[in-house]
Chain A
Amino acid sequence: MNNIMIGRFVPGHSWVHRLDPRTKMMITFVYILVMLWANNWQTYAWATLFVIGLVRLTGQPFKLYWDGLKPIFWLILFTVILQLLFTPGTPVLFSIGPLRVTVPGILNAVYVMVRFVLIILMSTILTLTTPPTSIANALESLLSPLKKIGVPVAELSLMLAIALRFVPLLMDETQKIMNAQKSRGMSFSTGGPVKRAKAIIPLLIPLFVGALQRALDLANAMEVRGFKDAVQRTKYRILSYQKIDQVAFLALGGFVVIFLIIKTVIHG
Chain B
Amino acid sequence: MTQAIKIDNLKYNYNNDQVLFDGFNLTIDSGQWVALVGHNGSGKSTLAKLILGLIAANSGNIDVFGERLTVDTVHHVREQIGMVFQNPDNQFVGATVADDVAFGLENKQIPSVEMPRMIDEALSIVGMLDFKDREPHMLSGGQKQRVALASVLALQPKIIILDEATAMLDPDGRATIMHTLQDLKARFGHDITFVTITHDMDEAILADRVVVINDGQLILDGTPANVFSQYDVIHNNGLELPFAGELAEKLDAKPKSYLDERELIQWLSRLNK
Complex Cα spacing A162 to B49, Å: 23
Please give the distance in Å from B162's CB to the nearest CB on chain A.
12
Q: A131-B96, A222-B93, A228-B75 are in contact. Are A9 and B135 (CB under 8 A)?
A: yes
CB distance from B146 to the nearest CB of A (A): 15
For residue B79, CB closer than 8 A to chain A, the reply is yes
Contact call B91/A221, Cβ cutoff below 8 A: yes
- The proximity string for B residues 19-53 relative to A, scoring 1 for CB distances below 8 Å and 0 otherwise, is 00000000000000000000000000000010010
Q: Is there an interface contact between B90 and A218, defined as CB atoms closer than 8 Å?
A: yes
With an 8 Å Cβ cutoff, the count of chain A residues facing the other chain is 33
> Of A134, A223, A236, which is in contact with the most chain B CB atoms at under 10 Å from its CB?
A236
- CB pair B135–A236 under 8 Å, yes or no, is no
| Min CB gap B215→A, angstroms | 23
Listed residue (B91, B136, B152) with the most chain A CB atoms within 10 angstroms of its CB: B91
- Asked if A133 contacts B109 (CB within 8 A), the reply is no
CB of B106 within 8 Å of the partner chain: yes
Q: Which residues of A contact B151 (CB under 8 A)?
A: 225
Return chain B residues, CB-CB under 8 Å to A226.
75, 78-79, 104, 107-108, 155
In the assembled complex, the Cα of A223 lies from the Cα of B95 at a distance in Å of 18
Which of A134, A162, A220 gathers the greatest number of chain B CB atoms within 10 Å?
A: A220
Per-residue interface assignment for chain A, residues 93 to 114, with 1 indicating a CB less than 8 Å from any chain B CB and 0 otherwise: 0000000000000000000000
Given contacts A169-B137, A217-B91, contact A236 B112 (CB under 8 A): yes
Indicate if the CB atoms of B89 and A235 lie closer than 8 Å. no
Q: A225: which B residues are within 8 A, CB to CB?
A: 82, 93, 103-104, 107, 151-152, 155
The reply to whether B112 and A218 form a contact with Cβ atoms under 8 Å apart is no
Residues on the B chain within 8 Å of A134, using CB: 95
| Given A226-B78, A226-B108, A221:B90 Cβ within 8 A | yes
CA distance A156 to B260 in the complex (A): 54
A99 to B89, CA, bound (A): 52
Q: Is B110 in the interface zone, CB < 8 Å from A?
A: yes
Q: How far is the CA of A217 from the CA of B49 in the complex (A)?
A: 11
User: How many positions in chain B have a CB within 8 Å of any CB in the partner chain?
Assistant: 43
CB within 8 Å: A-B pair count = 100
The reply to whether A236 and B95 form a contact with Cβ atoms under 8 Å apart is no
A238 close to B (CB within 8 Å): yes
B110: chain A residues within 8 A (beta carbon): 234
Given contacts A223-B54, A225-B155, contact A214 B90 (CB under 8 A): yes
Selected contact of A220 from candidates B85, B105, B111, CB within 8 Å: B85
Within 8 A of A (CB), among B58-102: 75, 78-79, 81-83, 85, 87, 89-96, 98-99, 102
Q: Is the CB of A220 within 8 A of B49?
A: yes
Q: Which residues of B contact A133 (CB under 8 A)?
A: 94-96, 99
Binding site for B on A (CB under 8 A): 9, 11, 131-134, 161-162, 164-165, 168-169, 172, 213-214, 217-218, 220-228, 232-238
* Interface positions of B (Cβ within 8 A of A): 49, 52, 54, 75, 78-79, 81-83, 85, 87, 89-96, 98-99, 102-112, 115-116, 119, 133-137, 151-152, 155
11 contacting pairs across A/B (C-beta < 8 A): A11-B134, A134-B95, A220-B49, A225-B107, A226-B108, A228-B107, A234-B105, A234-B109, A234-B112, A236-B98, A236-B102
